[in-house]
Amino acid sequence: MASRTIENYLKQIYLSRPADETQWLTMGKLSAAVGVTPGTATSMVRAISDAHLVEYEPRAGVRLTPAGEQLALHVLRRHRLIELLLVQVLGLDWSEVHDDAEELEHVVSDRLLAKIDEILQHPAFDPHGDPIPTAGGVVRRQDCCTLLDCPLGEPTSIARILDQSAEFLQYVNQCGLLPGAEIRVASRNHQAQTVELMVIKSDENQLVAMSFSVAEKFLVQLNERKK
């Protein structure tokens, strides 16, 4: 079995992988994501490569093998199911569950995870809108775009928050922009680098403004979202 350290590296390699699948993840980005010095990342990646979980090309970077990706997705599945459990069953605030899940994801047994999955009725998304890989290691594709490139004026809803830091999620809470929230993007100002959007609530609507860099952290859905 892969150590918790290796599980962490694989997860970060997966999460930080470049959009273009032919590209390598550079060691600089990986070491930053894992939180170790570049030299440490190099030697760990060499070891993980010996176990055929990643391909490593010196001075180019690192890339998951199919086996490594499966392992990464299992870790991610654990992480996201646990987050949902903490929110839905234990009643923790969704802005606070990330750190606990980060630890728990490495110790929860398959048996326990199956039970959690069952209790939550095989959910497809975690509290931040991140897709939960299936037990078979398949990620359902989400048809999403960010608040920067979605159509203006059309009613849509928040699907996913990409920044999981507690502070940011508390801001998201205040704005009422949690996954599922109904919104309409009112305008974009390229000079001011801001987006204005309407949050549609049952009682009253609310206008929210944010910078482009923040708007990028919100994904909105294009098609109907299942479950």
Partner DNA sequence: CAATTAACTTTGATAAGACAAAGTTAATTA
Partner DNA sequence: TAATTAACTTTGTCTTATCAAAGTTAATTG
Tell me which residues touch DNA (CB under 7 A).
3-6, 26-29, 35-44, 46-47, 58-59, 61
Report the alpha-carbon distance of residue 195 to residue 177 in Å, rounded.
14
Q: Pick the closer one to a second copy by CB: 116 or 175.
A: 116
In terms of CB distance, is 10 or 215 closer to DNA? Answer: 10
Q: Which of 5, 16, 100, 137 binds a second copy (CB under 8 A)?
A: 100
If we measure between CA atoms, which residue out of 180, 168, 156, 179 comes closest to residue 210? Answer: 168
108 is an interface residue for a second copy by CB under 8 A: yes
Distance between CA atoms of 208 and 96, rounded to whole angstroms? 23
Q: By CB under 8 A, which span of 22-30, 51-59, 60-68, 105-113 interacts with a second copy?
A: 105-113
Among 119, 178, 200, 214, binds a second copy (CB under 8 A): 119
Q: How far is the CB of 50 from DNA (least distance, A)?
A: 10
Judged by CB under 8 A, the residue of 27, 104, 132, 210 near a second copy is: 104
Going 142 to 147 to 152 to 156, the CA torsion angle's sign is: positive
Which sign, positive or negative, has the C-alpha torsion 86, 90, 95, 96? negative
156: which 2 tokens? Answer: 């849509």
Figure out which of the listed residues 21, 59, 111, 203 binds a second copy, where binding follows CB under 8 A: 111
Between 35 and 151, whose beta carbon lies closer to DNA? 35
Q: Which residues of 96-135 are buried (b: 16+ CB within 10 A; e: fewer)?
A: ebbeebeebbbebeeeebeebbeebeebebbbbbbbbbee
Using CA atoms of 110, 116, 117, 120 in order, give the dihedral in degrees to the nearest 10: 180
Residue 116 lies near a second copy (rule: CB under 8 A): yes
Using the minimum distance from each CB to a second copy, give the nearer residue, 109 or 213.
109
Q: Does residue 114 sit in helix, strand or coil?
A: helix
Task: Tell me which stretch binds a second copy (CB under 8 A): 107-115, 140-148, 151-159, 177-185.
Answer: 107-115
Longest CA span, the chain: 59
Give the number of other CB atoms < 10 A from CB of residue 222. Answer: 14
Q: Where are the alpha helices (DSSP H) in 90-209?
A: 97-104, 110-119, 166-175
Contact positions with a second copy (CB under 8 A) in 56-95: 86, 89-92
Q: Which does 100 bind (CB under 5 to 8 A by kind): a second copy, DNA, none?
A: a second copy
Given the complex with DNA, which of 60 and 89 has the nearer CB atom?
60
- Residues forming contacts to a second copy in the complex (CB under 8 A) are 86, 89-92, 96, 99-100, 103-104, 106-109, 111-112, 115-116, 119
